[in-house]
Structure 1
Amino acid sequence: MTLSGVSQNTNVFFTEADAFFEANVVNGKVAYASIKDNQGQLNKLLRLAEAFTVSGDDESINKAFWINAYNICVIKGIVDNYPIKSPLDKAGFFDKDTYKLAGETLTLNAIEHEKLIAGYKDARFHFVLVCGALGCPPLINEVYMPATVETQLDIQTKKALNGSFLKVNSKKKRVEVSQIMEWYKDDFTIDDRTEIDFINSYRTEKIPDNYRLTYFPYDWSLNE
């Protein structure tokens, strides 16, 4: 894989991450048992992530790095505690356990909220940050790359909002969506938009404004 305009050290991280996801993710499911049995590739990737240099000048590199870093650290956290049935089986999985990334020590929540949501005010991140549960949008089997991260964000958001992330009931004039949109409502309603406004900006078949929005329970079962 070639990433034009990206330094050699940065390129190594993205190349290794791409190989890791391709080898260990199939149809959104992660081969945790296999990774646990052979952790060399994962540990190499974590060393590269720790040494990664984040630049304030290049949003595309930063976005791609932090998305991949989050997904890699989720896998690391699960592998360290495997076998488990859910990331919630490990107390502090999201808000206490830390990882060394780009010279900092961060929790998963800090990556999501401080490095991505707070910095870019972009709800699309919720469709690419995969928390290790079946209720999350599926993990893709390739790296998020600086040159294509905006397109990839759009693709994953569209897939979710035109797929199983929501259920439309035209008879009852109701749309059920994942609890992700309840938990992070503020992210989806920036600039006086409603949640349905956000959904319709990515939906092929638009949801009428008069439909009632409800939330279906989140599935915290492990995505394996």
Structure 2
Amino acid sequence: MAFEGFSQDLNSFFNKADAFFKENVANGKVAYSKIHANQNELNSILKIAEGITVSKADANNFQAFWINAYNLSVIKGIVNNYPTNSPLDNKGFFDATTYSLGGKQITLNDIEHKLLRGNFKDARFHFVLVCGAVGCPPLISKAYLPTTLNAQLEEQTKIALNGSFLRVNTKKNRVQASQIMEWYKEDFTRNGKREIDFINTFRTEKLDSKFKLSYFPYNWNLNKQ
């Protein structure tokens, strides 16, 4: 019976999160003002998330739960400080403010670095964890679900690396990448690969191996509608 209850709670979390993102996210932008005016739905989803326990051995459920929990908690953090121009305007936004999720009191940084990056060597996480800023990957208007997780990770990585995460100058053999690729270089250069190799795994128009890579500044302005 305990397993059934767990399963129902997790399914309820995914269903309600999916409906919430559909209602409040469009073109990667979040309706913070609208959510701020009525926080009941967000709070009820986070309340469900508080009581869920999911094992990292159950990788798809674990990853999908914590990706959604991260993205929802970022929205909660912005709403709690609304109006605000940037998550960085709020001290301790990522490393001190804690959320009650999955039976833990946990910060956003710990979700990202300990639970996700720490347990799974998958650089695609960087394209689905959305920090509330314009420079982040776009927040999708649906939940990440265990049954579709790999396809969603793949799709969002392809969108980013064929789009705004790169600025390509073919005449000068140069490419500028989002600072995410600088900050987490070790995630994109595993097994002796270079960043260009990682990029070309997901790009339609491949970059020549002689391209010089640099990084453009991160845009920390709020990703609001």
Q: How does 1:80-99 map to 2 (within 5 A)?
A: 80-99=80-99
Deviations 1:57-112 (A, max 9, x none): 31000010010000000000000000000000001100000001110111000000
Deviations 1:132-172 (A, max 9, x none): 00000100000000000011000000000011110110111
CA distance in 2, matches of 1:209, 1:118: 30
* Counterpart check, 1:79 vs 2:71: no
Taking structure 2 as the reference length, the TM-score comes to: 0.96
CA distance in 2, matches of 1:116, 1:85: 27
In structure 1, runs of 5+ residues without a counterpart are 1-5
Q: After TM superposition, which residue ranges in structure 1, 4 or more long, deviate above 2 angstroms? A: none
CA distance in 1, matches of 2:164, 2:25: 19
What secondary structure does 2:126 align onto?
helix
* Counterpart check, 1:150 vs 2:145: no
The one-letter code of the counterpart of 1:151 is A
Q: Which residue of 2 aligns with 1:69?
A: 69
Q: Which residue of 1 aligns with 2:7?
A: 7
What secondary structure does 1:125 align onto?
helix
What secondary structure does 1:100 align onto?
strand
Q: Which residue of 1 aligns with 2:127?
A: 127
RMSD: 0.8
User: How far 1:56 sits from its partner (Å)?
Assistant: 3.3
CA distance in 2, matches of 1:80, 1:177: 32
The one-letter code of the counterpart of 1:160 is A
CA distance in 2, matches of 1:124, 1:57: 19
The one-letter code of the counterpart of 1:204 is T
CA distance in 2, matches of 1:182, 1:136: 14
* Counterpart check, 1:39 vs 2:39: yes
CA distance in 1, matches of 2:61, 2:194: 30
Taking structure 1 as the reference length, the TM-score comes to: 0.96
User: How far 1:55 sits from its partner (Å)?
Assistant: 2.0
Q: How does 1:1-224 map to 2 (within 5 A)?
A: 7-224=7-224
CA distance in 2, matches of 1:27, 1:181: 23
CA distance in 2, matches of 1:192, 1:111: 27
CA distance in 1, matches of 2:7, 2:87: 35
Q: Percent identity?
A: 62
